[in-house]
């Protein structure tokens, strides 16, 4: 499954939020500057071709819904990002965020505590 473009991700965020929506309803949730209705409709149909979106037909109108959960997409995207940009290393990724000051030492300590807690659960 291919990665979504930035515009497609924006649309998927709306579909994950609404769960099912007509193009008009998606348009209402898209921030300014809004695309033309036909452009949005074409993009949604392309997303369907890619396998991310399905639809229910109501005459000539379609109500769209996500075919992939937000969690599944996030996992694929994160794993791909770590592989392509951090040499498949979570340590390298965390190090990057620490250097860029996107994560604090307190947050890193919380992560370590969560990992240790999960380890303890696994031993029981």
pTM: 0.74
Contacts of 119 (CB under 8 A, 6+ apart): none
| CA 55 – CA 67 distance, rounded (Å) | 9
Which pLDDT tens digit goes with each residue over 2-12? Answer: 788 999 999 99
CATH of domain 6-66: 1.10.10.10
Which pLDDT tens digit goes with each residue over 13-46? Answer: 999 999 999 999 999 999 999 999 999 999 999 9
Please report the pLDDT score of residue 124 as a whole number: 60
Q: What is the rounded (10 degree) CA torsion for 43, 44, 46, 52?
A: 130
Please report the pLDDT score of residue 101 as a whole number: 83
């Amino acid at each position: 499954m291919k990665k979504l473009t930035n515009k497609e991700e924006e649309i998927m965020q709306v579909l994950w939020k609404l769960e099912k929506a007509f193009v008009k309803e998606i348009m209402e949730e898209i921030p300014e500057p809004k695309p033309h209705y036909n452009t949005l409709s074409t993009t949604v149909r392309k997303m369907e071709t890619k396998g991310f979106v399905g639809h229910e037909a109501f005459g000539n109108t379609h109500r769209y819904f996500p075919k992939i959960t937000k969690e599944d997409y996030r996992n694929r995207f994160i794993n791909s990002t770590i592989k392509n940009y951090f040499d498949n290393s979570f340590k390298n990724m965390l190090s990057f965020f620490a250097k860029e000051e996107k994560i604090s030492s307190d947050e890193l300590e919380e992560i370590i505590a969560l990992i240790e807690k999960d380890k303890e659960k696994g031993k029981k």
